[in-house]
Amino acid sequence: MDWAYEIKWDGYRLSIHIEPTGIRILTRNGHNWTNRFPEIEEGARELGVASAIIDGEAVMYDDQGRSDFSLLQSSLGGRAGKKTSPAQFMAFDLMYLDGHDLTTTELRARRHLLEELISARPDSAIRFSEAFDVTGAELFRASCDHGLEGIIAKHLGRPYRSGRLGDWVKVKCIQSESFFIVGYERCAGAFRSLMLGAYRGDQVVYVGSVGTGFKMREMSQLRSMMNKLPWTGKKPPVSYSGQRDIVWVAPTIIAEIEFRGWTSDGKLRHSSYKGRREIQDNAAVYRIEE
């Protein structure tokens, strides 16, 4: 069997670095979030290894046992450093262990070592992300039926490589991506809808708006944040030909948006607001392939 099929987790991608000098929990961009996840830090300490680098995702679960990004974001208090989270860490890869670089080792062997490392402590905040002994199509149908985000197929014979190289393939039930907030439609309340942008090359382009999925408190918080980011350019930050009353803002805030696909003119279809991503992770903003 060349491929393993796992659940796609709906959380924050992180790496745990266990070193003789201590433990660090880092975002994809290298920002240190150790103090935000004390239970994961303690779980890493309990593994009892001298050194390791573990790849995975911090998650929180809803009352039906599904990972939920908005719950995780809420547990962190939204802005960086405000709160700590009792999240769990779903570990799915091992790049380094006790002085040995494992990045050139095939995934099958890395996962075996990772499972042995983690399974000894079943009550830890660090859990092993299991692969299921079914076909990808079967797991995908089951995940969608249970309201999960989707699955990831991983080639077991590949080394650890970053980037989109085809070794890991995401298959989503509902698409969910990160976009810049580039403005909002004015109304009597906080806003009517948010204007969204994505990267095309080095430019940010308009990809449509989102007007559903918000809680009242989120709308007030977002409006307060946008008020501090006025756009000062002579032209809007994105090309826009519509007639709505838009207040443009600097493309700084990042929103996680669920949507059902793309229209023929490159706009999001049936979009819904899911939560706010951290500014430090702007590398995750959606890129339109040219």
Residue-by-residue pLDDT tens, the chain, 290 positions:
799 999 999 899 999 999 999 999 999 888 999 999 999 999 999 999 999 999 999 999 988 888 888 788 888 875 444 678 889 999 999 999 999 999 999 999 999 999 999 986 778 999 999 999 999 999 999 998 888 889 999 999 999 987 667 899 998 888 889 999 999 999 988 999 999 999 999 999 999 999 999 988 889 999 999 999 999 999 999 999 888 999 999 999 999 999 977 887 889 988 999 988 876 555 589 999 86
Residue 144 in any domain: the answer is: no
Which residues form the catalytic set?
Answer: 8
User: What CA–CA distance (Å, rounded) separates 252 from 27?
Assistant: 18
How many structural domains is the chain composed of?
2
CATH number at residue 116: 3.30.470.30
Q: What is the pTM of this model?
A: 0.70
38 and 98 inside one domain = yes
Q: CA of 176: how far to CAs of 3, 179, 258, 268, in Å? A: 24, 10, 4, 11
Residue 92 in any domain: the answer is: yes
DSSP string for 124-180 = SSEEE-PBPSS-HHHHHHHHHHTT--EEEEEETT-----SSSSSEEEEESSEEEEEE
CB 126 within 8 A of CB 54: yes
What type of residue sits at position 240?
Y
Q: For residue 46, give its domain range.
A: 11-129
Residue 249 in any domain: the answer is: yes
User: What CA–CA distance (Å, rounded) separates 235 from 150?
Assistant: 39
CATH number at residue 261: 2.40.50.140
Q: Which pLDDT score, from 0 to 100, does residue 82 have?
A: 60
122 and 224 inside one domain = no
